[in-house]
Chain A
Amino acid sequence: MMDLSVKRSRNPSGVKNKRFFLFLSVSLLLLIFGPFLLGGIGSWLGARFSEVIFRESDLPTEEKLRNDIIRLMLENSILREEALKAQRYRTLLGITRTNNREAIPARVLYRSEGLVTGIIVINKGRSDGVIENSICISSEGLVGVVCSAGEATSEILPITNPSVNVSCVTWPSGAYGILQSTSEGELNLVHVDLSSDVETGDQVLTSRYGGVFPDGLLAGRVGSISSGDPGLALKLSVISAVDFESTGEVLILLPEDSWETDSQ
């Protein structure tokens, strides 16, 4: 150490050179690592500064943010459901504008056991103007027919019930037939003319024949085509347009004669 101090005192330019190279090295290191170091220090200082300026209570905690996310997710799902419902209502509203019959909107309260023999109960009854043989439709298509109307509720017999027969026509092929359900709940369009040019995917719509159902309501689509048992007519397997398990909002179309009677 003594030697070094002596050396320094004897050779001040050497000391200056050492100092020069020291600062030169520091500058070089700063040039290479400076941006990373200063960036890190800068963000750390910024964080400390924000801690001092903004009180801790004002900062959103992780738990609060998580709760907010959950709340927003729930809100989103509700809004999505509302949007779907609004879409269905719009479709139903469109139907009422193109149909002469008086329409009553209703909600499905519950369904009794079994899709085949079960019935659908809605929240509108005789007090709302619902009468027997009114037609129940949803935004997807034909649901069924009102078989019983109570004071505040009504029972709908779905088209999947074997006791319901609907006169239908395929579109665009134009073949007529009777839509009925088997005991297993399969929908078939029977008594279809052999010569008709039906194809799978054709729409099955209610026809103007029959009297109960207004024409043009979508019942389903042709799933497959086979010849009937005697071989004299075609039997079309029909895929229902309505998902009976998820139907919530429906429209009750009153019979035409009742509306005319009321208006008179």
Chain B
Amino acid sequence: MYYRVLVIALTIVIQFLLELTAGRIFVAPSLLTLVLVYLSENFEKKWAIDGAFWSGFVLDLLLHQPPGSSSLALLVGLFAARSFGALSSGEGRGYLLSMTAIAVLVSDTLFIVLASRPIGSGFNHVLLLVIPRMILTVVIGVLFLSVTSWIIEIKSRKVTGKLHVQG
């Protein structure tokens, strides 16, 4: 549990740094959405709600964004992803990545609309930036899932090795 909180905290810091660097140049991948989708699908569902709210709030404070805008966007984005997941009832790497893509698409679109002042004034060509951000997130998601699968595979090999000796 604490380990996952630590992962979320670390992701927030990385996301913050990415927004300040890559985000200023073009777009930064939405690592936070990816991690939240991964945690909510593989562990407790609360990561899609509590995690989205608190991480969004902290990110808003760090990036001097309108407080509540990231929280709201992440909550709705993850809700949309979960709804898609319920409908598709799929599994595997593609399922998780498509959920992430939907979450990024919805949350970022909503964020741009909510965080712009006056609210809604960002509903223009700026929204197109959501697409490269989503693609970038999915690409990083592929890498992320490959690494996690590899780690899991190594772990399972070790376990099967032990069982084989015992047998």
Q: Does chain A bind chain B?
A: yes
Write the residues of chain A forming the contact surface with B, with a CB cutoff of 8 angstroms.
16, 19-20, 23-24, 26-32, 34-35, 38
- Complex CA distance for A20 and B68, rounded to whole angstroms: 14
Pair B68/A24 contact, Cβ less than 8 Å: no
Pair B67/A34 contact, Cβ less than 8 Å: yes
Pair A26/B53 contact, Cβ less than 8 Å: yes
Given A23-B49, A27-B75, list of 9 further CB < 8 A pairs?
A19-B49, A20-B49, A26-B71, A27-B53, A27-B71, A28-B68, A28-B72, A30-B67, A31-B114
Pair A16/B68 contact, Cβ less than 8 Å: no
Write the residues of chain B forming the contact surface with A, with a CB cutoff of 8 angstroms.
45-46, 49-50, 52-53, 56-57, 66-69, 71-72, 75-76, 79, 114
Pair B75/A31 contact, Cβ less than 8 Å: no
Q: How far is the CB of A264 from chain B (nearest CB, A)?
A: 87
- Complex CA distance for A62 and B20, rounded to whole angstroms: 43
Given contacts A30-B57, A31-B114, contact A20 B79 (CB under 8 A): yes
- Complex CA distance for A103 and B116, rounded to whole angstroms: 77
- Complex CA distance for A261 and B88, rounded to whole angstroms: 123
Question: Which of B50, B68, B75 has its CB near the most chain A CB atoms (within 10 A)?
Answer: B68
Q: Is the interface of B mostly helix, strand, loop or mixed?
A: helix
- Complex CA distance for A34 and B49, rounded to whole angstroms: 20
Residues of B within 8 A of A20 (CB): 49, 75, 79
- Complex CA distance for A34 and B46, rounded to whole angstroms: 24
Pair A31/B49 contact, Cβ less than 8 Å: no
Given contacts A16-B45, A31-B114, contact A23 B53 (CB under 8 A): yes
Given contacts A16-B49, A19-B49, A23-B50, contact A29 B71 (CB under 8 A): no
Residues of B within 8 A of A16 (CB): 45-46, 49
What are 13 pairs between A and B in contact, CB < 8 Å? A16-B46, A19-B46, A20-B49, A23-B49, A26-B53, A26-B71, A27-B53, A27-B57, A27-B71, A31-B68, A31-B69, A34-B66, A35-B66
Q: Which are the 6 A-B pairs with shortest beta-carbon distances? A: A30-B68, A34-B67, A31-B68, A27-B72, A27-B71, A23-B53
